[in-house]
Structure 1
Amino acid sequence: MTSRRTLLALASLFALMGTAQAQSAAEKQLASDKFTLVAPFPAGGAIDALARLLADGLAKRYDQTAIVENAPGGAGTIGMGKVKRAKADGHTLLVIPAGNLTINPTLMPKFPFDVQKDFVAVTMLATTPNVLVTHPKSGFKNVNDVIKAAKAKPGALFYASTGIGSGLHIAGELFKDQADIDIQHVAYKGSTPAINDLMAGTVPLMFGNLPTMLPHLESGRLVALGLTDRARTPNAPDIPTLAEQGVPGVVVPSWYGLLAPAGTPANVVDQLAKDMVEILAQPHVRDTLKAQGMTEWTMKPAAFDAHIRTETANWAKVIKARNITMD
């Protein structure tokens, strides 16, 4: 009996040593070169801000250079392509919103990737509500004002989003469907050019991420009309949901995730996921995210992969049932 216990104890010890060595090898691998975090949208938006926080954390964690490469265009596909083609060693990573992973595969007829085959899920990073906003001179004080104007002149109103296939595009299409109105979609290559046109009055409405919109809402340059979420957010408790204003069914919160190229070693992926937990748990990072309307939210790689698959299937049902198209 004693011999058997000794053997079991030794087996457990060797297993722990093997795990430690694997982690050590992963950390050594990650410390061997600089990091590039690809953000498939222009500088200035929520993705860019989040990527810079992560880059700073990785730079300090591994004493390596970590840069953010903004690669807008193609509804996120240009940035995704850069990561797909990158060396699968954990040094080139994709910071991307939910819509580009879970909506575009169904919405885009020629979506050029198989997310599960071309990338490996590392972890979810953060979540945030989306919000319908307008400029102060539009005359819209609430969602019902928008609906009345749209019904009075079908097709005359326009709403902006950060791009075709984004969760914000889908939020707009669901809003049209639920409110039974005809408003036209204008796709931009990111939030910055869309917000600039919104504030200039070129477009009267926009669906955007709360983190990106908060500074403009707080300054009075933009006006919030309603959240596309199930409940109000503590980060902006005065903004009502669309459902509160009589438009249910528009529940499109945003989340952001981290992916690596397919073929990235599992121990490196696991280490990166652990690094993200540590980075996002730091008080100054949490405070920065909260100030931007985001909440940190991490998952283990396998759970994140399953989440992407589930959301992709769910959005495919919505898109097909409502006949939502790229136009």
Structure 2
Amino acid sequence: MTTTQVEYRQLGKTGLRVSVPVIGAMSFGSTDWSSWVIEEEKALEVLKAAWDKGINTIDTSNNYSNGVSERIIGNFIQKYQIPRNEIIIATKCFGLVGKTPGTLAHARSNLRFERDYVNQHGLSRAAIFNAVEASLERLQTNYIDLLQILRFDADTDPEETMKALHDLVQSGKVRYIGACSMRAWQFAMLNEIAAKRGWTKFVSMQHEYSLLYREDEREMLAYCKYNGIGVIPWSPLAGGPLARPLGAETPRTKFMKGSPFEPKLSEGDITIINRVKELAEKHGKTMSQVALSWISTKITSPIVGVSSVARLEESLTKGFDLTAEEIKYLEEPYVPRAVRSC
């Protein structure tokens, strides 16, 4: 029997238990899509190490490396004969999936209006059903544990979206539904529509949250807590700055340098990063473990992107808890900032 190095928490009010952490699969795919991702051979090594340590939950999206990420996960399950009922696969729909790994669909706003891509984007009934069928094929499975809508779709009637998601749950192709990165009022409205019609409601929210970005504490986290909705945030290490000392570079930070995605650090951010480093040295832990220990006191489970077994090890926090004073020490320098665009 395997001795796990992680804990399992219920996802909101559901009986579904997810691992802490959740493995984020955006870093698994094709270098044709992005130079910082790792390809299948190395990704399988990381996934197997995560599985052996007890991590049972993987979060991906249909548009990560234009479907290659999902294919790698499907191949992982098949190669190592992972019992399907023991692993939790979370994926997403909304984004456009390019026909080749190197097609940068997210950078070509008009692509969705071309013949080969019409009805393959957004949250219409057609787009959602098309996305799910394609994901099931790539993942080599007959159901998705958690299907998440990647954004709010202002171009589709919310009732159409929620009825389509409900029908997929009723069909057995999807077991739970969740949402990502939207305003709290949008998330609440969608759930209210489902509640009034007797349709399936969202059980989880995946949004940006870290020691360096806490704006959703005002509305979204409060809404989720009140309604018993699980929270599985992305970027719990703020894209890397909370994982290493100031000035350190990685393939991803080099890739983002000079781009709109490059982290811009304020004085408060720098103070927080230095305090994370200070506590890591005090406890003999990595900076990642300190930042993830903090966030684990606020949410269900963080989604961590890992590109090596060593990085995976740095993300395990079972048995490591910060004191109330240390939590306050990390939070004190935070200064509210502009809400990110969804």
Q: TM-score by structure 2 length?
A: 0.26
Q: Name the larger-Rg structure.
A: 1
Q: TM-score by structure 1 length?
A: 0.27
Higher share of residues assigned helix: 1
Higher share of residues assigned strand: 1
* Higher RCO (C-alpha under 8 Å, 6+ residues apart): 1
